Amino acid sequence: MKINKLSKENVLLVGFPSNGLVGTFTISYLIHYLGMKQIGEIEHPDLPPTLFVEDGEILSPIRIYKKDNIFVIISDLPFDPYRAYDFSESILQYCKNNDIQKIIIVSGMETINQDPKSPKIFGLVTHQSLEELLYTNQISKFLAGSIFGTDAAIISVFRKSKIPALVLYAKCHPFFPDPEASILAITTLAKVLNVKVDTTDIQKKMERLRIQHRNLMEETIRALQQQQQEKQPTRAPQIYR
């Protein structure tokens, strides 16, 4: 593992269950691959009482990690629209408290007729200062479409702040976990961060990941379908082992 330290600015990566589970697959893989250390948690009084256990360690569903100048906030629970705004405000406050210069959100863009031989990824920026990132890394710009749910909540919060945000949207299947789309998101994010990442491990585990996380995909679909209703999210397992 090698991290290029040419850029000293603090960057925050954000991942949560969304279409194809692209965000959580991608960010979880980077946490494990880069050996990031957990440095905190985000709590909310309205979240269901849920904990996870990994290698005997008790974990909160929303955790904060760090490695050098790279910070991560990852959620193992999908959000309804009300908690999505609270989550977004918590992210903004964390950025202000920790001198974060930009954030990168990874998510999935649903498409049922995705060609696996020609995966696509698009970028959307909240501030013109990040436009060059798209050009430099040959990321097509997201030109038209609708955004809702947690993605929209975070974008809405950050487009009004001084901290710029980049959203990476990998085309994916909306109803099934999509590790192939996640691999494209991982390699694209690695280029943006100047980090070398090997995706061999996730390629070997594709089918297992698809089967292992069907329940989380079902929970996420329900959350996405209930954007107009207030509904308590239910328990979901950790994304990557």
Distance, CA of 197 to CA of 182 (rounded, Å): 13
Distance, CA of 235 to CA of 50 (rounded, Å): 6
- Which of 48-57, 91-100, 125-134, 218-227 has the weakest average pLDDT? 218-227
Strands (DSSP E) contained in 152-235 are 165-172, 195-196
CA angle 80, 84, 88 (to 5 degrees): 175
Say if residues 74 and 16 touch (Cβ distance below 8 Å).
yes
Nearest to 152 by CA among 203, 105, 208, 220: 105
Say if residues 177 and 108 touch (Cβ distance below 8 Å).
no
The alpha carbons of the chain give a radius of gyration, in whole angstroms, of 16
Distance, CA of 102 to CA of 108 (rounded, Å): 20
Q: Is the pLDDT of residue 50 over 80?
A: no
Say if residues 145 and 65 touch (Cβ distance below 8 Å).
no
Phi, psi angle pair for 194, to nearest 5°: 65, 40
Long-range pairs of 154-157 with CB within 8 A, sequence gap ≥ 24: 154/14, 154/84, 154/87, 154/88, 154/91, 154/105, 155/105, 155/124, 155/126, 156/88, 157/85, 157/88, 157/89, 157/91, 157/92
| 196-234 tens-digit pLDDT | 888 877 655 555 554 455 555 455 555 555 544 444 443
| 112-153 tens-digit pLDDT | 655 655 568 899 998 988 888 888 888 888 888 777 778 888
Q: Is the pLDDT of residue 239 over 50?
A: no
Using the structure block, give the residue that is written with the tokens 């490695």: 67
Cα of 173 vs its chain's centroid, Å: 16
- What Cα–Cα distance (Å) separates residue 104 from each residue in 10, 139, 181, 219? 11, 14, 17, 24
Distance, CA of 123 to CA of 185 (rounded, Å): 11
189: tokens are 């994010």
Say if residues 208 and 65 touch (Cβ distance below 8 Å).
no
187: tokens are 């390699």
Strand partners, 64: 40, 73
What kind of architecture, by CATH, is found in domain 7-225? 3-Layer(aba) Sandwich (3.40)
Q: Is the pLDDT of residue 7 over 60?
A: no
3-class secondary structure, 79: coil
Please tell me the pTM assigned to this model: 0.78
Domain boundaries, the chain: 7-225
